[in-house]
């Protein structure tokens, strides 16, 4: 293929390509997150610990 023909094919191909435009939206993007966070803390005391707490209730 000749150099001129190759150049013509490249220019013609570039003329047929689409144009991509990226623009910012007019309104802000809103994301609604409905998340329920639940935390549970469980304490399990053995019998000796319960007795110590009952004997020294003024400390605890």
Residues 6+ apart with CB under 8 A from 45: 53
Distance CA 16, CA 11 (A): 9
The pTM score is 0.26
Q: What is the pLDDT of residue 45?
A: 66
Distance CA 33, CA 23 (A): 26
Q: What is the pLDDT of residue 1?
A: 53
Q: Which residue, chain included where needed, has tokens 């623009």?
A: 23
* Residue, of 9 and 17, whose pLDDT is higher: 9
42: its two tokens: 């469980």
């Amino acid at each position: 293929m000749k150099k001129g023909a190759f150049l013509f094919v490249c220019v013609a191909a570039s003329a047929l390509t689409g144009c991509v435009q990226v623009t910012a939206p007019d309104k802000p993007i809103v994301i609604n997150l409905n998340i329920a966070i639940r935390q549970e803390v469980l304490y399990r005391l053995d019998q000796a610990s319960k007795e110590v707490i009952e004997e020294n209730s003024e400390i605890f």
